[in-house]
Amino acid sequence: MSKSLVSISDFNKEEILHIMDKAAEFEADPNRPVLAGKVIATLFFEPSTRTRLSFESAINRLGGRVIGFSEANNTSVSKGETLHDTIKMVSNYSDLIVMRHYIEGAARYASEVSSVPIINAGDGSNQHPSQTLLDLYSIKKTQGTLNDIHIVIVGDLKYGRTVHSLLQAMSHFNARFTFVAPDELSLPDEYKLFLRGIGIQYKETQDIKEALADADILYMTRVQRERFSDLMEYERVKNAYILRNSMLEGTKENMRILHPLPRVNEIHPDVDTNEKAYYFTQARNGVFTRMAIISYLLGIE
């Protein structure tokens, strides 16, 4: 069976570091036709701007071709075709499949059905491993290392798939975490157990100002309306944490603010011009990181 990237745990520490090196090479020289003759499918059962377009940009820059859809209602899924059959068909037509799906575990299932590699571009609240690799690339570029970083994560730690993948990846590098979330959106116990089990330090607080004082990376997240079954609960917590420029006084000189984006209200636009705001460059880093992931999974050096 071909190697897929469904969970960040599908890559070991050496593979993660290899992707970091390759992403840097692609950033230095992004237009290399190593995917000439390859067809990559992008199947998005959930909305996306960055993930789909940065994958497609990466493929185009590498000389590959893209097929796929951004709206499953225009496909035979709307006639009742199963995910099983859709993946069987698309793996006949492509060399690799990038898939986002709203059901947790859908990408793992697809990888078991597919004859070509699957990249999980987000499955419900579960995992978003290509986002994590671009997050790590952004951390390495801004901090000069992945080792011994203090990451403050703010917002939706319950449903945030980028948070779940990030914890697992940074645990290879002796990260220390501070979690800032309302009770309703606190980190699920399974992830706390995971961190405790491998001896990674973390603390939980609702005081963002206190957490920021010692942060190397501030990782903001959106409260995701689409994950709530009770919209009253969403309304209660949606503006729990809003980062403003004035809150960055006294933070470390080299602290950088990441956000997987899209943002809604959680970062005030007055932060955008602060040199610590890194989220737009972080999204750009996604192109180079995704070039590295695709070429690695296809065995292209």
Q: What string marks each residue from 96 to 125 as x (binds ligand CP by CB under 6 A) or -?
A: --------------------------x---
> Which residue, 109, 54, 37, is CA-closest to 292?
54
Q: Decide whether 50 or 140 has the Cβ nearer to ligand CP.
A: 50
* Binding segment (CB under 6 A) for ligand CP, from list 14-22, 45-53, 71-79, 193-201: 45-53
CA distances, 79 to each of 72, 83, 103 (Å)? 11, 12, 19
Q: Which of 22, 38, 50, 140 binds ligand CP (CB under 6 A)?
A: 50
48 touches ligand CP (CB under 6 A)? yes
> Helix 161-170 vs helix 129-143: angle between axes, to the nearest 10 degrees?
60
Q: Which of 12, 33, 145, 262 binds ligand CP (CB under 6 A)?
A: 262
**Candidate ranges 23-31, 33-41, 49-57, 271-279; the one touching ligand CP (CB under 6 A):** 49-57
Backbone region of residue 178 per phi and psi (left: phi > 0; alpha: psi in -120 to 50; beta: other values): beta
CA gap 272, 236 in Å, rounded: 26
Taking CB under 6 A as the rule, does residue 131 contact ligand CP?
yes
User: Which is closer to ligand CP, CB of 51 or CB of 289?
Assistant: 51
Cα(116)–Cα(93) distance, rounded to whole angstroms? 10
Which of these segments, 145-153, 218-226, 257-265, 293-301, binds ligand CP (CB under 6 A)? 257-265
One-letter amino acid of 41: A
Whole-angstrom distance, CA of residue 118 vs CA of residue 42: 10
Q: Is 109 in contact with 83 (CB distance < 8 Å)?
A: yes
User: Smallest distance, Å, CB 214 to ligand CP?
Assistant: 26
Binding segment for ligand CP (CB under 6 A), chosen from 69-77, 174-182, 195-203, 254-262, is 254-262
# residues contacting ligand CP (CB under 6 A): 9
Take residue 125 and report the two structure tokens written for it: 């609240």
Quick one: which of 51, 111, 138, 221 contacts ligand CP (CB under 6 A)? 51
Q: Is residue 33 involved in binding ligand CP (CB under 6 A)?
A: no
Least separation in angstroms between CB 61 and ligand CP: 18
Question: Please, what's the b/e burial string for 100-128 (b: 16 or more CB within 10 A of its CB; e: otherwise)?
Answer: bbeeeebbbbbbeebebbbbbbbbbbbbb
Asked if 170 and 282 touch (Cβ cutoff 8 Å), the reply is no
Candidates 9, 12, 49, 254: give the one binding ligand CP (CB under 6 A).
49
- The residue (of 114 and 127) whose beta carbon lies closer to ligand CP is 127
Residues that bind ligand CP (CB under 6 A): 48-51, 122, 131, 260-262
